[in-house]
A and B are shown apart, each in its own frame.
Chain A
Amino acid sequence: MIAEPSNTPQPATVNVDSRLRFDRNELAGAFGDIGTDLPLIIGMILAAGLDSASVLVMFGLMQVFTALVYRIPMAVQPLKAVAVIVITQRIAPELLYGGGLAIGVAMLLLTLSGGIDWLARIVPRAVVRGLQLGLGLQLALLALRDYVQRDGARGYVLAAAAFVIVIALLGNRRFPPALFVIGLGNRLCDRLQSRSSADSRGQRLSLPTVHPLSLSDIVSGFVLLAIPQIPLSLGNSVLATRQIAEDLFPERRITVRKLGITYAAMNLVNPGLAEFRRATDREVSPAITPSVRAPADRSSSTARSTLQSGCFLPAYSSRQYRYFLSRCSEFFYCSRDLR
């Protein structure tokens, strides 16, 4: 929640050009959202049985898409209200995809009808902040209820250590706290599971495949997932994003209409490219339905999103994914030494 865009007055706007830029700041910025994205994505993959490779490939492609369209650090994130429901209730992947599609349709209708412009005018900023507060509380409760207690005393110690790291490095651009927290969890995971059976599935790279959705999936997804998510997305992904983009990149003239179209397009495309395995192997598909949000890191530019995608495109099975995370940690330490 710390990385959410802020509407507080900024000292200066950032001068950006339309070229893609790759430097150390961009590299650091590329990891900025990992602390928010990874827990939700992995949680959804495990809870709904999604295909991790397919999810991550689509996630990476969406990052590239927003980077090329907006040419500012426009993050793509999992839909958080949906993620909370999916993780806590272990929703079936079909329903998740149906919900994603319903959200895309609803947002498209809102945008094309002008409803989103009307909402942008009447919904006050205090309400947007309240929705974000609610989301933060909900995710914190989810962590405390479902995850921290699971490992007993060790879980509490890990949570406390992560909390201290986040507070100590809050707002630190050189050493983003999320990376340390992920590295800590990754190390612990490796220590706890190093003697367990090896992952027999091995390394693989799978491309998304077209997956038909039934009308009942879409309707059920709308009731169960879209209705809780859309108000949050209006506040968090559209109105707050427009505000932060206006504060930091005023020359870009990013409108709620454009954000709404992008949001709808991504949610219309992703559920159709869903792949999942049935109940025999609950490790399924890409019901990751991204939302658009401008990051709080004011200095990074388009390359951030692109680099983020570059990290996610080589999507492997879970064992390789942990390896990938550990490589990220090591790379971060190397980049720190370069400064």
Chain B
Amino acid sequence: MSLVRGEAVGRWEFFVVLTVGLIAVGLPYGYAIALAVGTALYYFFRARGLLAQP
């Protein structure tokens, strides 16, 4: 949790962390899917200006 807390500075970063974590746990081959989905989600948010830093 202390690791995740470091990402909690921004709402959208935290959303990405939680989404990736839940996908990793909940789906078969979850880590692979979470890696792809999380990365896509992150760049989507960044393109829309929702993230503070790259």
Residues of A within 8 A of B (CB): 1-2, 4, 6-8, 81, 122-127, 129-138, 141, 227-232, 234-235
Contact: A130 with B17, CB < 8 Å? Answer: yes
16 additional contacts (CB under 8 A) given A129-B7, A129-B17, A131-B21: A126-B20, A130-B16, A131-B34, A133-B3, A133-B18, A134-B23, A134-B30, A134-B34, A136-B21, A137-B22, A138-B24, A228-B29, A230-B32, A231-B32, A232-B24, A232-B31
Contact: B3 with A127, CB < 8 Å? Answer: no
Contact: B24 with A130, CB < 8 Å? Answer: yes
How far does the Cβ of A81 sit from chain B's closest Cβ, in whole Å? 6
Please report whether the interface of chain A is mostly helix, strand, loop or mixed according to DSSP: helix
Contact: A131 with B31, CB < 8 Å? Answer: yes
Contact: A134 with B25, CB < 8 Å? Answer: yes
Contact: A8 with B6, CB < 8 Å? Answer: yes
Q: Give bound CA distance, A2 to B35, whole Å.
A: 22
Query: Is the CB of B4 closer than 8 A to any CB of chain A?
Result: yes
Please report whether the interface of chain B is mostly helix, strand, loop or mixed according to DSSP: helix
Question: Which residues of chain B have C-beta atoms less than 8 A from A124's C-beta?
Answer: 16, 38-39, 42-43, 54
How far does the Cβ of A130 sit from chain B's closest Cβ, in whole Å? 2
Most buried by B among A133, A141, A232: A133
Question: Which residues of chain B have C-beta atoms less than 8 A from A135's C-beta?
Answer: 24
Q: Knowing A126-B16, A127-B42, A133-B20 are in contact, say whether A81-B6 is a contact too (CB < 8 A).
A: no
Contact: B35 with A234, CB < 8 Å? Answer: yes
Top 9 closest pairs, chain A to chain B, by CB: A130-B20, A134-B24, A133-B21, A127-B38, A231-B31, A231-B35, A134-B21, A130-B17, A126-B16
Question: Which residues of chain B have C-beta atoms less than 8 A from A2's C-beta?
Answer: 2
Contact: A235 with B35, CB < 8 Å? Answer: yes
Contact: A141 with B17, CB < 8 Å? Answer: no
Q: Give bound CA distance, A141 to B21, whole Å.
A: 13
Question: Which residues of chain A have C-beta atoms less than 8 A from B34's C-beta?
Answer: 127, 130-131, 134, 231
Q: Knowing A126-B16, A127-B16, A134-B21 are in contact, say whether A229-B31 is a contact too (CB < 8 A).
A: yes
Q: Which residue of B lies closest to A81 (CB)?
A: B31
Q: Knowing A126-B38, A231-B32 are in contact, say whether A4-B24 is a contact too (CB < 8 A).
A: no
Contact: A4 with B38, CB < 8 Å? Answer: no
Contact: A126 with B31, CB < 8 Å? Answer: no
Contact: B20 with A127, CB < 8 Å? Answer: yes
Contact: B19 with A130, CB < 8 Å? Answer: yes
Contact: B24 with A131, CB < 8 Å? Answer: yes
Most buried by A among B4, B14, B54: B4
Q: Knowing A126-B17, A137-B25, A232-B31 are in contact, say whether A132-B3 is a contact too (CB < 8 A).
A: yes
Contact: B35 with A134, CB < 8 Å? Answer: no
How far does the Cβ of B48 sit from chain A's closest Cβ, in whole Å? 15
